[in-house]
Amino acid sequence: MKLSLEQTDTRPDYDRLLRLGMPEFVYAESKTPDQVVKSLRALFKTHKACLAYRATQAQFRAVKKSIKSAQFNALARIIRCGKMSQNLAGKVVVVSGGTSDVPVVAEAVEVLEFLGCKVRTLQDVGVSGIHRLQKRLSIFSDAQVTIVVAGMEGSLPTVIAGFVKLPIIAVPTSVGFGANLGGITTLLSMLTSCAPGVAVVNVNNGVGAALASYRILNTFKREGA
């Protein structure tokens, strides 16, 4: 029997919060509004908070009818209903090369704030004007993790890794001209960084970078650091 998208079942992973310390997030892209509603409603009933990413206005309108507390960040493309009732020690600094990278920054920040993380942003400090970064290095002094979001040739994480000792999670974006290849050039550049210890997530994956940061902060929490 051939199933249509509307007929497929959704089975939320309710136990993920117990296993990983974070709930399941709903990847909304390619899902119908009704599927997003069903998943979020089930997760909200269990956890009193839920989040969907890569969402649309149409999906949000459908969710809002079912969960009155739902909010939509159109820039981040995130539907957020409440937040997790926890406050983690430590802070994440999210840095971006240019204002064109802001949607990915917004995605990461939304996820971190939903999970109860403290976040600060440092935007538009790309390497073409490196003095802008050098004047703001004090922002990293009381942080535990840094997320660096950049497009073009993707050299910003390497530069920052030469200045700060924090774990650095690099996020390549699809910002750039033709030879950028939709972020592939940036991704490969970050993967071949000469700075030791730079971790890299997939192109435009602000959610992945946020969750990697959360895992680090949650480890500090468990160990009492």
For residue 133, the SS3 value is helix
Same domain, 62 and 121: no
Residue 167 lies in a domain: yes
C-alpha to C-alpha distance for 123 and 107, rounded to whole angstroms: 14
20-70 pLDDT tens trace? 888 899 999 999 999 999 999 999 999 999 999 999 999 999 999 999 999
116 and 87 in contact (C-beta within 8 Å)? yes
Residue 86 lies in a domain: no
Handedness of CA 147, 149, 155, 160 (dihedral sign): negative
Sheet with strand 78-81: strands edge to edge: 26-27, 50-53, 78-81, 70-73
30 and 62 in contact (C-beta within 8 Å)? no
Q: 106 is written with which tokens? A: 């917004």
Beta bridge partners of 168: 146, 198
Same domain, 63 and 131: no
C-alpha to C-alpha distance for 82 and 63, rounded to whole angstroms: 13
Domain that holds residue 31: 5-81
Domain boundary among the residues 81, 111, 134 is at 81
Q: Is the pLDDT of residue 79 over 50?
A: yes
Alpha-helical segments (H) within the chain: 16-20, 33-47, 57-66, 102-114, 131-134, 156-161, 184-191, 206-223
151 and 100 in contact (C-beta within 8 Å)? yes
Same domain, 124 and 183: yes
Q: Is the pLDDT of residue 126 over 70?
A: yes
Domain boundary among the residues 81, 116, 147 is at 81
Report residue 1's pLDDT band, with 50, 70 and 90 as the boundaries. very low
| The predicted structure's pLDDT at residue 220 | 65
Same domain, 118 and 200: yes
Q: 73 is written with which tokens? A: 């960040």
Same domain, 75 and 120: no
Same domain, 95 and 77: no
Q: What is the mean pLDDT of the chain?
A: 91
- Structural domains of the chain, count: 2
Same domain, 53 and 128: no
